[in-house]
Amino acid sequence: MTTNNRLLSLDILRGITIAGMILVNNPGSWNFVYAPLGHAEWNGLTPTDLIFPFFMFIMGVSMYISLKKLNFSHTNDTLYKILKRSIIIFIIGLGIAWFSLFCRTYQQTDNLPFIDRFLNSLLNFDKIRILGVLQRLALSYCFASLLVIFIRHKYIPYIVGSTLIVYFLILYFGDGFDKSENNIVSVIDRAILGVNHMYKDAGLAIDPEGILSTIPSVCQVLIGFYCGKIMLNSKDNYSRIVNLFIVGTLLTFTGFLLSYGCPINKKIWSPTFVLVSCGMASSFLALLIWIIDIHGYHKWTFYFKSFGVNPLFIFVMAGILSTILRVISFSSDSESINLHGFIYSDILQPIFGNYPGSLIFAISFMTLCWLIGYILYRRKIFIKV
């Protein structure tokens, strides 16, 4: 497997996940979302629930490739690169959360004088959400990277297994599987972060990217790392897909089997959720290698390649654009409406209906992000941290 082909398979899988994130995060209306494009309310699994863990799995695979070039050495230079990248990604995630909060607060305080309104929105740090998607990526990448440069890789499966068992026991004895603010996940997050700095799920302070549930997400990255090791150390493409399919099948089967006692749950990142999502990601990566690298069917990858080569930039840009669409407001039929609402409610929904219109809005927004990514790709501009 050449470097370019290997990276193409990873880029396409990464691109699919980024496109999926943008698609499910930007419907025309949250009241009209097709079931596969929504998260499970609590226990259970939908296609949407797999998007984020797939990306984390890919991050683990890519981490093996990048750290291998440095011989997995724990030199000052390697440590500096890991910490610098983690801090930058965390700050970017925090910045997006602040920008969104600033815009919401500014809109909600239109009864104040401009200066007071602006300063109140600018300095509204007491309500900012501290953790989120990018913050979880940063923390998981940081801890996983430090582990793999300081320990022998043959111990990684044992570390993952023992960590998931301990996490299950914490959940089991701490009522972690209950959808309640009294479960151990919410209790710890509230004690450390404070309720004002947490995501509210149906009015409950249960943060799906909280502190305690970050522990199994580190295991997610480590499993991806180990699959990257298996992939690169296999002798040919057929060996690679066989090994990845075997790992994927074992993880998926084990996860579903154990789900009778440990429910699959993304919002607390349960151990079975880690196993099932990593198993499916490994199998999907093997399928892509079979399609792209063995049979050479790569024309269809054109759309996803632009997402995959600039994933962080496109994801951040999508978050900012989504917020801006809700900030730009104007009067329509004697009512104030934002641009997002106008496009969906006044254009798409009357023509296509509630659910199709909401989906078309999401696809259109995703395509806009793709267009920007495609321009960068054609100009060979790759924005990395």
Helix (H, G, I), strand (E, B) or coil at 173: helix
Q: Is 39:315 a contact under the CB 8 Å cutoff?
A: no
Distance CA 184, CA 268 (A): 10
Backbone angles phi, psi at 264, to 5 degrees: -75, 120
Q: What is the DSSP string of 183-239?
A: SHHHHHHHHHT-GGGS--BTTB---TT-STTHHHHHHHHHHHHHHHHHHHHSSSHHH
Q: What are phi and psi of 228, to 5 degrees?
A: -65, -40
Phi-psi region of 333 (alpha: psi -120 to 50; beta: other; left: phi over 0): left
Per-residue pLDDT, 332: 58
pLDDT at 285 over 50: yes
Q: Which amino acid is at 355?
A: Y
Query: Has residue 74 got a pLDDT over 90?
Result: no
Segment holding 8, helix H or strand E: helix 3-25
**Token duo for residue 213:** 């549930």
Query: How much is the pLDDT for 4?
Result: 42
242's enclosing H/E stretch is helix 237-258
What is the torsion angle, in degrees rounded to the nearest 10, for the CA atoms of residue 195, residue 197, residue 199 and residue 204? 10
Q: How long is the chain?
A: 385
pLDDT per residue as tens digits for the range 165-196: 999 999 999 999 999 888 999 999 999 998 88
The average pLDDT across 369-382 equals 92
Rounded CA separation 315/359 (Å)? 19
CB 63 within 8 A of CB 145: yes
Distances in whole angstroms, Cα of residue 368 to Cα of each of 202, 298, 327, 365, 374: 30, 22, 18, 5, 10
Q: What is the pTM of this model?
A: 0.91
Q: For residue range 287-337, list pLDDT tens digits in order.
A: 999 998 888 888 888 889 999 889 999 999 999 999 999 888 776 555 778
CA distance to 112, 223, 259, per residue, from 246 (Å): 62, 14, 20
Residue 118, pLDDT score: 82
Looking at residues 8-13, what average pLDDT do you find? 88
Q: Give yes or no for a contact between 73 and 146, defined as CB atoms under 8 angstroms apart.
A: no
Q: Find which of 32-36, 76-80, 107-111, 249-253 is predicted with most confidence, using mean pLDDT.
A: 249-253
For residue 280, what pLDDT band results from cuts at 50, 70 and 90? Answer: very high
Average pLDDT over residues 229-234: 87
Average pLDDT, the chain: 90
Our measurement of the distance from residue 128's CA atom to the centroid of its chain's CA atoms, rounded to an integer in Å, reads 20
The C-alpha atoms of residue 242 and residue 267 are separated, in whole angstroms, by: 32
248-271 confidence digits (pLDDT tens): 999 999 999 999 999 999 999 999
Give the alpha-carbon dihedral of 41, 43, 45, 51, to 10 degrees.
Answer: 70
With 0-12 / 13-18 / 19 or more C-beta atoms within 10 angstroms meaning exposed / middle / buried, residue 50 is buried
pLDDT band at 28 (very low <50, low <70, confident <90, very high): very high
User: What tokens were used for 99?
Assistant: 């920008």
pLDDT over 50 at 275, yes or no: yes
CA distances, 196 to each of 5, 93, 205, 245, 374 (Å): 46, 17, 9, 43, 38
| Three-state DSSP state, 150 | helix
Q: What is the pLDDT of residues 42-61, one digit of tens each?
A: 999 999 999 999 999 999 99
Domain ranges of the chain: 1-38+297-385
Separation of alpha carbons 385 and 374, rounded Å: 19
Tokens of 165: 């068992």
**pLDDT of 5 over the 60 cut:** no
Print burial letters for 20-47: b (CB count within 10 Å at least 16), e (below 16): bbbbbbbbbbeebbeeebebbebbebbe
